[in-house]
Structure formats: C-alpha cells, structure tokens
Amino acid sequence: MAQSLWALWMLAMVTSWLVSRNTAMADRPTAMFIFGDSLVDVGMNNNVPSLARANYRPNGIDYPGGVPTGRFCNGRLISDFLSEYWRIPPALAYDDPANMGETLLNGANFASAGAGILNDTGMVFNKRFPMDQQVDFFREHKEKLIALVGTEEASRILAGASVSITIGSNDFLSNYFIPISPRRARYTLPEYINLLIPELKRQVMSIYEIGARKIVVAGVGPLGCIPFIIAMRFGTNQGRCVEKYQQIAMDFNARLVSLVQELQETLTDATFLYSNAFDLSLQLIQNPALYGFTTVNKACCGRGPYGGLIACNRFDPVCPDRTKYVFWDPFHPTEAVNRLVSQQLLFGPPSVISPMNLSQLFA
C-alpha cells in the first residue's frame, strides 16, 4: 500500500511539474541536447581515462564558485548563456551521476573533448566519445524519458528541444594533421572532406529519426587563427592567421552549408539552422576593439609562442583580465567570446545564423 501511494505521489509530482513547465515554456525550448567536442563539453570526459579533460584549475577560474567543471574555458560556455536566457536548467553531461530522474527532462550534453565525426578522430587522447557514440547516448536518453513520462510526452520534449551540433575541428587537428596520419596518407584534403560530410549527414539523420526537430549545425571556426596553429608557424607568420587552415575551414563549411540545405529540403517537418562560427569568430579577431578585446592571437593560459604550444594547466600563469582575450587556451575561446556568440545566436542576422536565429526559432 505504501509503495502504491509513493508511486501515485511521484506520478502527481511529475505531472504537475510537466504542466507548469509546458505553460511557462511556450517561447523557449523544452530541453537542450548538445553534441560536439571540447568547445561545448561540460565534463563528459571527467570520469574516464582521457588526456582531453579540463576538470582542473585554472579552468573555471571565472565560473560561478571558481570551480573547474570540465569546461575548456575560464568560465561559461555558449550553452550556459543560452540556458540562462531561456531560464531553463543547464543540460548536464550525459554521464554525470546527477543526470537522472526529473533532471533528464532538461536534456543532456553529450559533447566530448577530442571527439570528431570519425570514430578514429582523437585517438591520441585515449578515451573520448565520438559522434556515433553520442548519437547512441541520445537514443538511450529517449528511452529513459519514455520510462519517466511515457512515449507521447518524451516525443514532445525531443521535438521541442534545442539540439546543437558542434563538431569537425578535431577531424582536422586531431586526425588528418597529426604527425603520422593514415587518413592523410590515404586521402587528399578534398577527398577527406568528401568522407566527412556523408558521415555527418548519417549522424544528423539519426538524431532526427530519434526525434529531434529543431537542429542547429555549427560550422568550423577559423582554424588558422587559433594560438596553437599560429604557434606552429612561429617566426614565419608574424602572429597572423594561417591561410592554409583558414581555407580548409572554409572548404569544409561550404559543404556543411549545402548539407544543411539538403536536410531541410528532405526532412520538411524539421527545422535546420546553420551557425556561421567562422565569420562570427573572425569578426572578433579582425575588429577586436569593437567588441572590447585587445589580444586576439595569444592564449590567456598556455605556454610557448602565443601561449599556443602547451595546453593550459595548473602550473601556468593566467592573464589578469580574461575579458580582453579572445582565446582562453591554445584552442578554446574565453567566456567573454562565448557570451557574445550566444547573443548573436539568439538575435543575430542571417549572416550569423540562418535561415533564422534562435529567438525566432522558439518564438
């Protein structure tokens, strides 16, 4: 009898929570699901044997409480600012022990540092969760939602959720361009991009088939401008962005734009958005004063030329004013950049996010 009353009480609590949630969330997503790499990772690798982890200081120095959570940043990520704007709880890392019960209704962050479109990307980091595995986790999450709230409500949550995909950089930096790369030995760059795009298409279609209907695909940022690449050309490029890597990013993104358009034409009951991370980031780098930055080619935390050769660690000095730096470490932006990018995703023009921005998507 006591068990029956407990079950009824739990059902009433979940039902009440869902009713209030649905009433209050007409202009925002039902949940957030995040796929990708270290740019959006909130700690997926924290508890696995991986070299790609950030759960140590000085990472998180400007995060609430000054806690290193696993984010590759001095503070908050784009997803953190979006959840704050939408007034919904941030999506936890999928493998976070706290990601259970009603917390599942908020969504999940599957992003894993070192991950790529291809399963062999990031092998140098040991354990990481590539895109295929992240899609499997999404499928598992749906089953957990069904067990919690039933099939109909689970489907509604997935269909109304913000689903973002930020992937691809590691397929170049941690696969094709590693010193001894079987992929580079076998494929030219155009051939390699031709390999990546169909794989990503298959993965996005799987995410759609599981139930996602509002999907944002981010382009690769300006690879040639990250401190790591600039440092590799120390003495020859005078701190400027390296054109070779810029062109690679642009070539990949051109194919990505076509893929997003193709998906929209094929899967007409869903909405696909393309986030132009390349041009948006390049604007900050080329016009820093307009956005309050002073340092665009040097990491706030890192060692070597431009702070770009050795990743930020607990023994490294940190720049005193992180708000003036575009890059936190050799690869990742500062919280200040993430804040600006989140604002552009919410309210920006089609040159930044198309065919509409996030505020229009969830109006």
Give the active site residues: 38, 329, 332
Token digits of residue 53: 């982890």
Q: Can you count the helices (H) and strands (E) in the chain?
A: 12, 8
* Residue that is written with structure tokens 């969760």 in the block: 129
Q: Which of 216, 359, 346, 225 is nearest to 283 (CA)?
A: 225
Alpha carbons 293 and 335: distance in angstroms, whole number: 12
User: Which candidate, 115, 229, 228, 223, places its Cα nearest to that of 167?
Assistant: 115
Closest CA to 32 of 70, 87, 69: 87
Q: What is the DSSP string of 170-185?
A: HHIIIIITSSS-HHHH
Q: Are strands 353-354 and 271-275 parallel, antiparallel or unpaired?
A: antiparallel
Q: What is the DSSP letter of 301?
A: S
Q: How far is CA 272 from the centre of its chain?
A: 16
Which residue in the block uniquely carries the two structure tokens 């065919």? Answer: 355
The H or E element spanning position 95 is none
Measured CA to CA in angstroms, residue 41 lies from 71, 117, 165, 205, 219 at distances of 6, 15, 11, 22, 16
195: Cβ contacts below 8 Å, ≥ 6 apart: 118, 187
Block residue for tokens 């796929």:
35
The answer to whether 53 touches 45, Cβ cutoff 8 Å, is yes
Cis peptide preceding 305, ω within 30 of 0:
no
Which two three-digit tokens encode residue 110?
């599957």
